[in-house]
Amino acid sequence: MSSNGVVDAVGEELTALLTRLGELADLPTDPVGDGAACIDRIALLERARGALAAAQHTAMVAFGRAQVEAQLDQIATGRLDPEKLGRGIGDQIALAAHVSPHVADRRLTVARALATDLPCTRALLVSGRISEYLAEQIVSLTSHLDPETRRLVDKQAAEAGLDELGRKAAVAAVKKLAYEADPVGFLQRGRTARKDRRVALRPAPDTMAVLSGLLPVEQGVACIAALRQHADSLIATGASGGRSRDQILADTLVERLTGQTRAEDVDVEVGIVLPLDALTDPDSPKTGELVGHGPLPGGIVVELLRRTGGKRWWRRLFAHPVHGGLVGGDPQRRLFDGFLATLITWRDRAWCREAFCGAPIRHLDHITGKRAGGPTSFGNGRGNCVRHNEDKELPGWHHEVLHDGLGDQPHTVQTTTPTGHTYTSRAGPVSSGLPPGSSPRPPRGPRTRRRPPRPRGPGVP
């Protein structure tokens, strides 16, 4: 049954299918015979992945058409700016699929292209003969072609036996067909892609991060060549300091981008949302939070603060003793302004607070708008990406604070979409401050003592 109470026969079939798949997943794993039956099942389940993706594509296209028709009615009655036609469709798909809006947009683009211009590729996907990944690649590689030429390449690709090729060989075959169909357009596509150059940072396991750059190929080659040349010269002269070649490459990248003498000498401000004893106990199981990255073990935080040769700040932050969410902090720190904005950003981990988004915060927004009497406060603020900040103004979208985070529940916001579906986003815990398996202690009240500033002046050592 959908959110508006209408019985959906297809939805009920899918629910039954999901239940059956769960039963198959729970079958015993004891060896039976030579395992040939298991190989057959693996092959069939792999084909089912493609068929499921195609079925989801169909639902996406149908939903998109329904939303566009509804928005056209809103435009006709003056409730929606014509320039906003199509807005919010990918966002609702993202919430339903528990993915980011970027991923949802890509899936919707693939679904529409398969439905309109690439029927042969779609048929291969429906039958499970190719993967969703390969279908996405075909959509991307033929995106510069006009519809008629695209359908021709689609037919040629299907006849090329893509389902019998490995992933790289299949992609290469489609790329060759797309180039031969329109060489000029293919080259122009490469020139246009240079406008999309960018740098990105994403978290990696074990307190690491991945810094990546999408660059024109000759610039990327020049960058890595310069780093390698420098690393090889240090190794050849015995000046590597015991570091491996890869470590020198990474350190040199940081030093040349930041202008630091050593890669370790970064300016560090760490929001420690845990009892202060974690700063003095390197073996503490409690964690800190590096905003925009994620949790760090207390011992790593201490080591980071001790080793850096750059500027260091620390700030007292207060976590709720039950749910561990950030509820307040000490605004006193030099070279600082807009502490409320910083506190909200830290509470939301520097990521958009819309459910499943994960994009960087670009706006701090009132959940209940100022025109509706919403206060400019910690509880009524949240961090949003550009896209979700704009969604709030579309008809049918509603956001409500369920918990302000100051009680026994973390800061919680409920989003209602135009179809009536609701999604919940909870902040934190930024750091639970508790070892695994333990229970939170009753609160003893805030402890705000801090060592007074050391006096400085003539005669003071």
Query: Could you tell me which of 399, 338, 390 has the C-alpha nearest to residue 367?
Result: 399
Predicted local distance difference test score (pLDDT) of residue 345: 86
Max Cα distance, the chain (Å)? 88
pTM (whole model) above 0.85: no
Q: What is the pLDDT of residue 335?
A: 27
pLDDT band of 50, cuts 50, 70, 90: very high
First-residue to last-residue Cα distance in the chain? 75
Between 336 and 271, the more confident residue is: 271
Q: Identify the pLDDT of residue 405.
A: 86
Give the pLDDT band of residue 341 (cuts 50, 70, 90).
confident
pLDDT band at residue 71 under the 50/70/90 scheme: very high
* Residue 85 confidence (pLDDT) above 90: yes
Q: Which of the residue ranges 86-90, 283-287, 298-302, 425-429 has the most confident prediction, judged by mean pLDDT? A: 86-90
pLDDT mean over 367-384: 87
The pLDDT, as a whole number, for residue 451 is: 37
Share of the chain above pLDDT 90, in %: 54
Return d(Cα 214, Cα 409) in angstroms, integer.
41
Give the pLDDT score at 55: 97
Predicted pLDDT at 322: 52
- pLDDT tens digit sequence for 302-339: 566 566 555 555 554 555 555 555 555 544 433 223 77
Predicted pLDDT at 20: 95
- Distance from the Cα of residue 332 to its chain's centroid: 32
Q: What is the mean pLDDT of residues 104-110?
A: 96
H/E stretch holding 287 reads strand 287-290
- Percentage of the residues of the chain whose pLDDT score is greater than 70: 76
For 299-325, give the DSSP string: HHHHHHHHH--S-EEEEEEEE-TTT--
What's the rounded Cα separation, in Å, for the pair 140 and 113?
A: 10
The count of C-alpha atoms lying within 13 angstroms of the C-alpha of 414, restricted to the half-sphere facing its C-beta, is 8
Most confident of 148-157, 191-200, 275-284: 148-157
Q: State the pLDDT confidence band at 437, using cuts at 50, 70 and 90.
A: very low
The residue among 37 and 120 whose pLDDT is bigger is 120
Question: Which range (17-21, 201-205, 207-211, 360-364) has the least confidence?
Answer: 201-205
Across residues 235-250, what is the average pLDDT?
Answer: 93
pLDDT band at 89 (very low <50, low <70, confident <90, very high): very high
Mean pLDDT of the chain: 81
Under the banding of pLDDT at 50, 70 and 90, the label for residue 58 is: very high
Chain centroid offset of residue 444 CA: 37
**In the predicted model, what is the mean pLDDT of residues 65-94?**
95
